[in-house]
Structure 1
Amino acid sequence: MKSDKFLEELTMTLRTTLAATAAASALTVAGAAYADGHGPMRIGITQNNVGVDSYQTTYEKAFIAAAEANENVEVVVLDAGGDVARQIAQMEDLIQQEVDAIIIWPTNGEAVIPAVRKAHSAGIPVVVTNSNIAEAGFEFVATFSGPDNITQGSRSAEIMCDRFKALGIENEARVVQISGQPGYTTAIERQQGFDDRLPEVCPNVTLVETQPGDWNREKSQQVMEAFLVKYDDIDGVYAGDDNMGVGALNAALAADRAEGITFVGATNFAVGYEAMERGEYWGSIYQSPVDDAEAALQSAIDLINGEELPFLNYFDTPKITQDNMTEFTKPVF
């Protein structure tokens, strides 16, 4: 039994420390021990690439805040920096640490499967967060917590089609698409949802070309600059998230061609919301990184406590356009 003094000190100091690991430096948030004398649940998370966009940055802050608020939880917070090899090393390190559960935001849905299988074999439940791994690895995953990205892509196509119909150009409109990071499940699924749904709702709209923007605003601006040079007639731009969508918008504004182009994204960022307020950007899909982070942590806690969870544990992501945006709070990321 731990002493009362030890428990009191541990309870009083929800401390945030940097812990060096074999894979990378990790942020460890320690919670108080259980009241019954058992140590706190130890949950490890390896993220995709925190520095790449404000959604992932906000997710990490929300995740740490949720862990700090729970006295029975200690988390080891790792970031792969977009590097698959680093993420695999981080997974192996968390397995060696014998954490009670692992949350992974995959850098690549295929490449991480062996590491996820290894955690499963070690008896450590794995929560996949935000972007699922490839189907071949599903049997090694306890639950997926995040958005339904295929539905998001489908809803973006519906937003685009509805706008074209309102403008009377649904029989002639031409669309270009800026997708996310190649090999990344969210990018694949959002593109799939859009590609499959658009011809169902607007069969005469032409999807001219798709190029990756890698979730990066500057890269997406360059992709859009190339589209504008290549195509005289662009009526719509679909981007896999608003960060890329605003990059495309910036290119069109700089070329004096934004007027007459319908911009639709996903994962409504603050910059997308602001562009919608200005009337420059038409619509997106509303998704909260805070909800995302809290849902992942709660899923891990529930699994450790022996609860049964559905394999696909989605939270809702509704459509947002200039017409209904006042119903939604401006994103903080």
Structure 2
Amino acid sequence: MKLFYTLAATTALVAGGSVASAEAMKIGITQNNVGVDSYQTTYEKAFIAAAEENPDVEAVVLDAGGDVARQIAQVEDLIQQEVDAIIIWPTNGEAVIPAVRKAHKAGIPVIVTNSNIAEAGFDFVASFSGPDNITQGARSAEIMCDKFKDMGIAEEAKVVHITGQPGYTTAIERAKGFEDRLPEVCPSVTIVDTQPGDWNREKSQQVMEAFLVKYDDIDGVYAGDDNMGVGALNAAKAAGREGIIFVGATNFSVGYEAMGAGEYWGSIYQSPVDDAEAALQTAIDVLNDKDVPFLNYFDTPKITQDNMGDYTKPVF
């Protein structure tokens, strides 16, 4: 059962099981920006499918379109609807805290999905469901360092770093994980520059084009996700710059294909389907008074050209 209707500044999709329970849990979700990349598009489809398969769930599915003000309005709309729980994929980990506080004061448990809010808002959150982004960044640093050691350039390699959207917790945490871990495992490797790619392939290609003009010597590129990483790869290919090691996080299908072609070295394997299903189940468990950890992580292993055969190609 699907019904479209208009809310303030947004459109909502209500999804429920085909035989909805009279006591169905009404769970609202406000997402970051569904149209920005295939990960978020796949996440939304998986979330709706999981909600529709559960007769005890009625889901109100919203998309903030990357707009903090819209997301805050969506949280307030969900509070007015008196939903039983709110899931939020924050557009900005700091800016959404007042809205999350309002939900908490209204007695509505809040589950943060995929990208956590800032620590100042933790008291207003029932649980975070998603990847450990600091660990992902650290694992990406290990992947890059291991490759540099194999190549014999770990004492001199120079790296550029393309981050996600400024102010976005995932971008901040992946950057921190990478930048903290790299000097621990490869102390002589230098990060020569860092610029945001905003999770956008075209912008990341432009960022990399500028790096290639500015720096004659680039041995590695770390990108906060494969969408940006492949944008950087495209810039290097167009410029005829060979021998650069590309490492990302969140292995997109384009990253997987580039790894198979021998052009992209490694990434972190993360499923948007697992992400979406885990968020919904966490909300259900909270509403059923189950013991749920505050940081409810799912595993995201390393994937490189060497072991990619152990993993199926991502669907996003």
Q: Into which bin does the TM-score normalised by the smaller protein fall?
A: over 0.9
Distance 1:69 1:99 in 2: 19
Flag structure 2 segments of 5+ consecutive residues without an equivalent. none
What residue ranges of structure 1 are gaps of 5+ in the alignment? 1-14
Residue deviations 1:207-228 (CA, integer Å, cap 9, x gap):
0000000000000000000000
Q: Where does 1:175-190 land on structure 2 (aligned, <5 Å)?
A: 175-190=159-174
How far 1:19 moved relative to its partner?
1.9
TM-superposed deviation, 1:40: 1.1
- 2:178 is the alignment partner of 1:194: yes
User: 1:33: how far off?
Assistant: 3.4
Structure 2 distance, partners of 1:245, 1:33, is: 43
Asked if 1:18 is matched to 2:18, the reply is no
Secondary structure of the residue aligned to 1:260 is: coil
Which residue of structure 2 lines up, in the alignment, with residue 301 of structure 1? 284
Aligned to 1:87: 71
Q: Could you tell me how far apart the structure 1 residues matched to 2:3 and 2:238 are?
A: 45
Question: Shift of residue 286 of structure 1?
Answer: 0.2
Counterpart among 27, 31, 39 of residue 13 in structure 2? 27
Query: Which residue of structure 2 aligns with residue 226 of structure 1?
Result: 210
Q: CA deviation at 1:180?
A: 0.2
Partner of 1:10: none
Residue 45 of structure 2 corresponds to 61
Q: Deviations over 1:87-146 (max 9, x none)?
A: 000000000000000000000000000000000000100000000000000000000000
Q: Take 2:12 and 2:23, find their aligned partners in 1: how far apart are those partners?
A: 20
Q: What per-residue deviation string (whole Å, max 9, x for no partner) do you get for residues 246-266 of structure 1?
A: 000000000000x21000000
What SS is found at the alignment partner of 1:162? helix
Does the 8 Å contact 1:23/1:93 carry over to 2? no
Secondary structure of residue in 2 paired with 1:107: coil
Alignment-derived partner of residue 263 in structure 1: 246
After the TM superposition, list the runs of 4 or more consecutive aligned residues in structure 1 that deviate by more than 6 angstroms.
none
**Partner SS, residue 145 of structure 1:** strand
Question: Does the aligned pair in 2 maintain the 1:66–1:294 contact within 8 Å?
Answer: yes
Does residue 321 of structure 1 match 2:304? Answer: yes
Which of 24, 36, 51 is the equivalent residue of 1:40? Answer: 24
Q: Give the share of equivalent positions with the same residue, in percent.
A: 82
Q: Is 1:330 paired with 2:313?
A: yes
Aligned residues: 315
Quote how far apart the aligned CAs of 1:39 are. 2.8
Is 1:49–1:82's contact at 8 Å kept on the other side of the alignment?
yes
| Aligned equivalents of 2:149, 2:3: Cα separation in 1 | 55
CA distance in 1, matches of 2:155, 2:51: 51
Which of the two has higher C-alpha Rg?
1
Q: Deviations over 1:186-212 (max 9, x none)?
A: 000000000000000000000000000
Shift of 1:154: 0.1
